[in-house]
Amino acid sequence: MNDEIFIEIKALRKKYGGIQAVNGLDFMVMKGDIFGFLGPNGAGKSTTIRMILSLIRPDSGLINIFRLPLVKNRKRILTDIGALVEEPRFYEYMSAYKNLEILGKLSGKRVGKKEIMNALSLTGLENRSGSPVKTFSHGMKQRLGIAQAIVHDPELLILDEPANGLDPRGMKDMREIILRLNQEYGKTILISSHILKEIELMANRMIIINKGEKVVEGNVHELLDAAKLDLRIEISDAAKALELLEKQYIKSDVWLESENHLVLKASKAEAPAINKSLVDAGFSVYSITPINSLEQYFLDNT
């Protein structure tokens, strides 16, 4: 990863009426990152993204992009940003091509037929370029949202919940497009989501925010490694199995979740040995499922 800072946010604040939507937020996105911006609904993700895109004025704080203050360099900065803010909306009565042509013309760069078709091709819409957007499914509109963000070949992509409302297949397609944009085309990407798994599968760095404040920020794998995995064990007689495991592990690391479920603080690698020991003791083990404690952490703290 390059150490060049692409986005620098410091002490960012925004209040709507009596509600503090963003409260002293700090974070940095480096060149080459897929930076996960995670938080529950209403955490302040969209407000922050809108401030980065100058759709909303911050009450206070600093936003530097490409090391330039946003306020004084809006035009220069937005020329090199492609954005998808929440659900993408288009001129429904126009074709996908015409929409991209209009948005390309406003991008501050030369965008011709080749660039438009490249963007449509990368998002799998090249065969529907002439169709009016009103005939598109939700998933196709989401992909067209990505196409309009990349049509002018920006260095930085800001994607606000791009997988929102998509079915599992659509989410997978979207994930593949985003990873390809990062790995093959070298785009730096800030991606917001309220789904930890999505971020975990794509991002190298991430921040979790809640109520407009930072909860945790760091390298995704370091955060996941630091947060040890728990194992949820579905078993025939959980109470008896608990007695056995309390002897083998630290007492506080194992607890009864329900009549047939135990939770044990242990890594995924320990699962086979635990399974063997329980089966050898005469228990019927129905399943052992790793629980990401970062997910638990996210749920507990947001």
Q: Applying CB under 8 A, which residues contact another protein?
A: 50, 53-57, 74-79, 81, 83, 85-94, 102-103, 105-108, 148
Among 140, 152, 300, 290, smallest CA distance to 228 is for 290
Among 30, 76, 50, smallest CA distance to 187 is for 30
Assigned token pair, 253: 């690391």
In the complex, the smallest distance separating the C-beta of residue 49 from another protein, rounded to whole angstroms, is 10
In the complex, the smallest distance separating the C-beta of residue 111 from another protein, rounded to whole angstroms, is 11
The torsion angles phi and psi of 189, rounded to 5 degrees, stand at -130, 130
- CB closer to another protein out of 61 and 196: 61
Question: Does residue 231 sit in helix, strand or coil?
Answer: strand
Assigned token pair, 201: 């599968």
What does DSSP say about strands 205-210 and 34-38: parallel, antiparallel, or unpaired?
parallel
Q: Yes or no: say if 188 and 33 are a contact pair by the CB < 8 Å rule.
A: yes
Question: Does residue 116 sit in helix, strand or coil?
Answer: helix
In the complex, the smallest distance separating the C-beta of residue 178 from another protein, rounded to whole angstroms, is 18
- CB closer to another protein out of 55 and 299: 55
- CB closer to another protein out of 188 and 238: 188
- CB closer to another protein out of 71 and 273: 71
- CB closer to another protein out of 156 and 171: 156
In the complex, the smallest distance separating the C-beta of residue 218 from another protein, rounded to whole angstroms, is 28
Q: Yes or no: say if 103 and 90 are a contact pair by the CB < 8 Å rule.
A: no
In the complex, the smallest distance separating the C-beta of residue 144 from another protein, rounded to whole angstroms, is 11
- CB closer to another protein out of 24 and 132: 132
Side by side, the strands of the sheet bearing 81-84 are 81-84, 156-160, 188-193, 34-38, 205-210, 213-219
Q: Yes or no: say if 132 and 117 are a contact pair by the CB < 8 Å rule.
A: no
In the complex, the smallest distance separating the C-beta of residue 231 from another protein, rounded to whole angstroms, is 44
- CB closer to another protein out of 87 and 295: 87
Among 261, 270, 263, smallest CA distance to 293 is for 263
In the complex, the smallest distance separating the C-beta of residue 106 from another protein, rounded to whole angstroms, is 4
Among 135, 4, 146, 1, smallest CA distance to 68 is for 4
